[in-house]
């Protein structure tokens, strides 16, 4: 069974990806593509154990009505090779998606990072409200848990804590 | 200047520890190249033509003498005894060893310095007017705002992997000395009719392959909303900026594609959702940061001194230096001193460890222990009493730091080019040196007046060529070094991009071509018109004819 990190612990993954062509199993937790979610919304919504994997170009506001029925949203991170030359860069759009889901839409379900999830990208993912990580193959999961300890403080608010550091100075001052 | 509290220090220490661990895991083969690239770039580490290059952040160009001594020490211990001040008011070391960089960062942390986000697709060093706090035409000190923004941008979890690098500059005076119009975000701190402080916000300016002048997207943003508005801009950019093509990934391309009005609307819509969150600044927050930038304890009667005028009268070289390398200070009896890093035979911006140490000592003696860096690669001692100027000049001269050429043709900007940079098409340092030899007659130089030459070794434009009065861009022609010249650029209030002069010019003709441009100016100018004004009046043609006329 695949191991993932959820809420800062290594656990066995209890979700599986459902291929667009595969029939919906009678029970069990599955993650479907956005296209399938849209095509079969009424049925999938009613089940309550179907999550959706979204592409990073999606404006998550479009999911607003679905959110109460979604126990899980999977985001996608990837190293891309921009044209015409130079090194590969990391696509960081899903960091914004995660924050907006948590902070604006109050999404309380699981937000899962998938794709090129590597140990040293996880601290920021965690701050943006991602609580589950399909760490990419080849990474040491025990070491990946250390990612959450990279920093014990932060300058700016995010999904984990909305309060910027300057508020603490404001209080210390009075 | 800003001093770390225990929070700042802890964050920087934690960053050093994280990077040390990352470097260790990389050297042990446990981090892939892609991953390590993303990580090292956020710590200013490039892998260059000959060796790694480490770029150290100098927030808005302000250094203490203690920090300068640490830079000297790093140059001596880990590099070849010199450092290179950049057009982003930072310093680069060209020869450190990869495995030693965690130690360098640890030493920097001890003096409240770091290399955080000096490269990579994140918010880079925040820059501002090198004369902040001392310029006569300033309405408010921009540095507290820079520091607030620096902290907000540092380790920002959402914006560490933007489509491309992101540069923010602040200006708060009549004359824009921070090139704000060629930044991803240019912020002008202003006062409205009611005397309230706020910001005029420009976005989408930039140099490089597709140079553009910024567009105003907000006339007056209230003072409390600086961070939420920046966050809204960055979020729109992070979502919609292009990632498929590195040359189209800067925010300027997005602003152009959407149109500034449509872009502004998107930002406004996003901002409305986050403006009333804890990002809002209170008066106390600003006061906290302002307290670090209070005026120095200036002497009340500093202008009441009997030595300065006689020294000017008796020593012509001193008088020349005063005229060209110092500027008026807002406090009578003080002057702002520019330290030229453009001596003959030296690559622009280079500074040896001995010079750094000496400057630290002079700053302690004469300028409240502070040194500033400028985006045209010089240094500034901002608060020198007029009675001390002669002694300072005498100390700078043997250090080769008193070349009286600030603002002249030989005070040119150039990127590291082919000598160090793996992206370069052509060299720029060699041309800079030939120019300083060709134009070494001071009287001639002064007669030319204000004339900025800016050179880049490739389209990336680190040498800001597109905003040079004369721009020089290295291009590759079948493996040979050629140069494209442009005329009429400016990064100041009259910001403009230079116009292409004509076909590229071969290496051995460049200095000659620039000489002809200068001669054309002298022949065409009316009264004491600047080069830029003459060019704007007469246009490209006479310059072009003179340069490409082979019967010359
Ligand atoms: S302009 Fe080009 S050659 Fe010069 S430093 Fe930048 S990338 Fe390198």
SS3 letters for A59-109?
Answer: CHHHHCCCHHHCCEEEEEECEECCECCCCCEECCHHHHHHHHHHHHCCCCC
B429-445 residues labelled b (16+ CB within 10 A) or e (exposed): bbbbbebbeebeebeeb
B193 secondary structure, DSSP code: T
Digit-coded pLDDT (tens) for A110-154: 999 999 999 999 999 999 999 999 999 988 999 999 999 999 999
Per-residue confidence band for B175, with pLDDT thresholds at 50, 70 and 90: very high
From B86, B167, B457, mutation site for ligand 1 pocket: most ligand atoms within 8 A of C-beta? B457
Q: Is the pLDDT of residue B192 over 70?
A: yes
Tokens of B483: 């140069």
End-to-end alpha-carbon separation of chain A, Å? 54
Residue count of chain B: 552
Asked if the Cβ–Cβ distance from B152 to A87 is below 8 Å, we say: no
State the residue for tokens 């009316």.
Answer: B526
Which chain B residues contact residue A82 at CB under 8 A? 243-246, 249
Which chain A residues contact residue B225 at CB under 8 A? none
Q: Is the pLDDT of residue A155 over 80?
A: yes
Q: Which of B32, B7, B8 lies closest to B22 in space, CA to CA?
A: B32
Which chain B residues contact residue A151 at CB under 8 A? 11, 14-15, 18, 155
Nearest CA in chain A to B26: A120
How large is the average pLDDT for residues B274-297?
Answer: 95
Asked if the Cβ–Cβ distance from B157 to A169 is below 8 Å, we say: no
Q: Is A33 exposed, middle or buried (0-12, 13-18, 19+ CB in 10 A)?
A: middle
pTM: 0.94
Q: Is B480 exposed, middle or buried (0-12, 13-18, 19+ CB in 10 A)?
A: exposed
**CB B460 near ligand 1, within 6 Å:** yes
Asked if the Cβ–Cβ distance from B121 to A165 is below 8 Å, we say: no
Range among A168-172, B12-16, B434-438 with highest mean pLDDT value? B12-16
Q: Is the pLDDT of residue A109 over 80?
A: yes
Per-residue confidence band for B258, with pLDDT thresholds at 50, 70 and 90: very high
Q: Considering only residues 117 to 136 of chain B, which have any Cβ-Cβ distance to chain A shorter than 8 Å?
A: 121
Tokens of B396: 């700078």
How far apart are the CA of A98 and the nearest CA of chain B, in angstroms?
9
Q: Is B5 on the interface with A (CB under 8 A)?
A: yes
Tokens of B317: 């070289």
Domains for chain B: give ranges and CATH numbers: 6-109 (3.90.480.20), 134-292 (3.30.413.10), 308-399 (3.90.480.20), 413-548 (3.30.413.10)
Q: What pLDDT does residue A171 have?
A: 79
Report CA(B424)–ligand 1 centroid distance (Å): 5
Asked if the Cβ–Cβ distance from B239 to A59 is below 8 Å, we say: yes
**CB B417 near ligand 1, within 6 Å:** yes
Distance CA B464, CA B470 (A): 10
How far apart are the CA of B459 and the nearest CA of chain A, in angstroms?
14
Distance CA B358, CA B385 (A): 18
**CB B424 near ligand 1, within 6 Å:** yes
Q: Which of A3, A8, A7 lies closest to A134 in space, CA to CA?
A: A3
State the residue for tokens 């070094």.
Answer: B481
Asked if the Cβ–Cβ distance from B279 to A84 is below 8 Å, we say: no
Q: What pLDDT does residue B49 have?
A: 58
Nearest CA in chain A to B161: A92
Closest ligand 1 atom to residue B463 Cα is 1
Domain residues for the domain of A53 are 3-173
| Closest C-alpha residue for ligand 1 atom 6 | B462
Of B31, B34, B245, the CB nearest to A88: B34
| Closest C-alpha residue for ligand 1 atom 2 | B458
Preceding omega of A84 cis (within 30 degrees of 0):
yes
B138 secondary structure, DSSP code: B
Strand partners, B339: B379
Q: Which of B35, B158, B240, B277 to mutate to test the interface with A (most CBs of A within 10 A)?
A: B158
Tokens of B491: 């990064």
Digit-coded pLDDT (tens) for B436-493: 889 988 899 999 999 999 999 998 888 999 999 999 999 988 888 999 999 999 998 8
Nearest CA in chain B to A100: B235
Do residues B510 and B431 make contact, with C-beta atoms less than 8 angstroms apart?
yes
Do residues A174 and B286 make contact, with C-beta atoms less than 8 angstroms apart?
no
How large is the average pLDDT for residues B389-400?
Answer: 97
H-helix or E-strand containing B371?
Answer: strand B370-373
Do residues B56 and B91 make contact, with C-beta atoms less than 8 angstroms apart?
yes
Digit-coded pLDDT (tens) for B217-254: 999 999 999 999 999 999 999 999 999 999 999 999 99
Nearest 5°: CA angle at B437, between B431 and B443? 130
Distance CA A128, CA B238 (A): 14
Which residues make Cβ contacts (< 8 Å) with residue B204, sequence separation at least 6? B184, B212, B214, B215, B251, B252, B254, B255, B256, B260, B263
Of A84, A150, A170, the CB nearest to B14: A150
From B456, B459, B464, B465, mutation site for ligand 1 pocket: most ligand atoms within 8 A of C-beta? B456
**CA separation, residue B5 to residues A155, A161, B8, B289, B292 (Å):** 12, 21, 5, 12, 12
Q: Is B272 on the interface with A (CB under 8 A)?
A: no
Closest ligand 1 atom to residue B474 Cα is 3
Q: What pLDDT does residue B550 have?
A: 65
Q: Of all residues in chain B, what percent are helix, strand and coil, respectively (each to 5)? A: 40, 20, 40
SS3 B382: strand
**CB B475 near ligand 1, within 6 Å:** no
State the residue for tokens 């090779």.
Answer: A81
Distance CA B509, CA B532 (A): 23
Asked if the Cβ–Cβ distance from A92 to B160 is below 8 Å, we say: yes
Which chain B residues contact residue A59 at CB under 8 A? 239
Which chain B residues contact residue A130 at CB under 8 A? none
- Number of structural domains found in chain A: 1
Asked if the Cβ–Cβ distance from B249 to A82 is below 8 Å, we say: yes
Per-residue confidence band for A172, with pLDDT thresholds at 50, 70 and 90: confident
Asked if the Cβ–Cβ distance from A95 to B281 is below 8 Å, we say: no
B114 secondary structure, DSSP code: B
Q: Which of B229, B231, B235 lies closest to B217 in space, CA to CA?
A: B229
Q: Is B151 on the interface with A (CB under 8 A)?
A: yes
**Measured torsion, CA atoms of residues A110, A116, A118, A122, in degrees rounded to the nearest 10:** -40
Digit-coded pLDDT (tens) for B70-116: 999 999 999 999 999 998 899 999 888 888 999 999 999 999 999 99
**CB B421 near ligand 1, within 6 Å:** yes
Q: Is B78 on the interface with A (CB under 8 A)?
A: no
**CB B462 near ligand 1, within 6 Å:** yes
Per-residue confidence band for B551, with pLDDT thresholds at 50, 70 and 90: low
Of A152, A167, A173, the CB nearest to B278: A167
């Amino acid at each position: 069974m695949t191991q993932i990190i959820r809420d800062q612990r290594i656990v066995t993954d209890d979700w599986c990806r459902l291929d667009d062509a595969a029939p919906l199993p009678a029970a069990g937790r599955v993650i479907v593509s956005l296209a399938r979610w849209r095509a079969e919304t009424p049925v999938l919504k009613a089940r309550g154990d179907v999550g959706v994997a979204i592409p990073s170009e999606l404006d998550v506001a479009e999911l607003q009505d679905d959110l109460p029925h979604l126990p899980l949203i999977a985001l996608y991170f990837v190293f891309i090779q921009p044209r015409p030359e130079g090194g590969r860069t990391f696509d960081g759009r899903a960091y914004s998606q995660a924050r907006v889901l948590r902070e604006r839409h109050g999404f309380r379900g699981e937000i899962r990072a998938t794709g090129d999830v590597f140990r040293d990208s996880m601290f920021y993912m965690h701050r943006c409200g991602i609580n589950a990580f399909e760490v990419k193959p080849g990474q040491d999961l025990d070491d990946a848990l250390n990612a959450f300890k990279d920093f014990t403080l932060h300058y700016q608010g995010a999904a984990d804590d909305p309060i910027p550091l300057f508020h603490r100075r404001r209080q210390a001052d009075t | 200047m800003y001093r770390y509290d225990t929070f700042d220090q802890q964050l920087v220490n934690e960053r050093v520890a994280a990077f040390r661990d990352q470097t260790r895991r990389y050297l042990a083969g446990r981090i892939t190249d892609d991953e390590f690239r993303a990580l090292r770039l956020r710590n200013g580490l490039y892998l260059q033509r000959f060796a790694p290059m480490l770029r150290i952040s100098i927030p808005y160009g302000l250094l203490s003498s203690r920090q300068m001594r640490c830079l000297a020490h790093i140059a001596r211990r880990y590099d070849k005894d010199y450092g290179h001040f950049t057009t982003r008011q930072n310093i680069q070391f060209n020869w450190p060893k990869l495995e030693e960089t965690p130690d360098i960062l640890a030493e920097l942390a001890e003096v409240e310095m770091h290399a955080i986000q000096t490269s990579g697709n994140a918010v880079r060093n925040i820059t501002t007017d090198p004369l902040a706090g001392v310029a006569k035409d300033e309405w408010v000190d921009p540095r507290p705002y820079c520091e607030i923004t620096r902290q907000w941008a540092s380790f920002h979890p959402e914006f560490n992997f933007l489509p491309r690098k992101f540069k923010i500059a602040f200006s708060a005076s009549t004359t824009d000395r921070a090139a704000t119009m060629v930044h991803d975000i240019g912020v002008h701190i202003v006062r409205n009719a009611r005397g309230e402080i706020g910001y005029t916000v420009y976005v989408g300016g930039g140099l490089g392959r597709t140079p553009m002048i910024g567009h105003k997207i907000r006339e007056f943003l209230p003072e409390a909303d600086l961070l939420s508005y920046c966050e809204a801009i960055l979020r729109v950019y992070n979502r919609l900026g292009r990632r498929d093509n590195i040359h189209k990934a800067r925010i300027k391309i997005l602003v152009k594609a959407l149109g500034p009005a449509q872009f502004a609307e998107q930002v406004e819509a996003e901002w409305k959702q986050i403006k009333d969150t804890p990002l809002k600044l209170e008066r106390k927050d600003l006061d906290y940061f302002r307290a670090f930038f209070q005026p120095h304890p200036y002497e009340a009667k500093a202008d009441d001194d009997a030595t300065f005028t006689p020294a000017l009268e008796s020593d012509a070289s001193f008088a020349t230096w005063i005229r060209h390398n110092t500027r008026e200070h807002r406090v009578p009896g003080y002057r702002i001193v520019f330290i030229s890093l453009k001596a003959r035979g030296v690559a622009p911006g280079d500074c040896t460890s001995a010079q750094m140490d000496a400057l630290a000592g002079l700053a302690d003696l004469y300028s409240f222990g502070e040194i500033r860096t400028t985006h045209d690669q010089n240094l500034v001692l901002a608060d020198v009493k007029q009675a001390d100027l002669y002694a300072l000049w005498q100390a700078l001269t043997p250090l080769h730091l008193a070349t009286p050429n600030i603002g002249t043709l030989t005070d040119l900007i150039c990127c590291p080019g082919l000598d160090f940079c793996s992206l370069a098409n052509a060299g720029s340092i060699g041309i800079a040196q030939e120019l300083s030899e060709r134009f070494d007659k001071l009287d001639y130089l002064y007669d030319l007046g204000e004339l900025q030459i800016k050179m880049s070794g490739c389209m990336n434009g680190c040498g800001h060529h597109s905003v040079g009065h004369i721009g020089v861009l290295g291009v590759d022609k079948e493996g040979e070094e050629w140069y494209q010249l442009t005329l009429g650029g400016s990064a100041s209030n009259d910001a403009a991009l230079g116009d292409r002069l004509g076909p590229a010019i071969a290496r051995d003709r460049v200095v000659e071509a620039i000489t002809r441009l200068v001669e054309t100016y002298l022949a065409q100018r009316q009264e004491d018109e600047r080069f830029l004004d003459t060019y704007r009046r007469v246009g490209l043609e006479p310059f072009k004819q003179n340069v490409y006329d082979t019967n010359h």
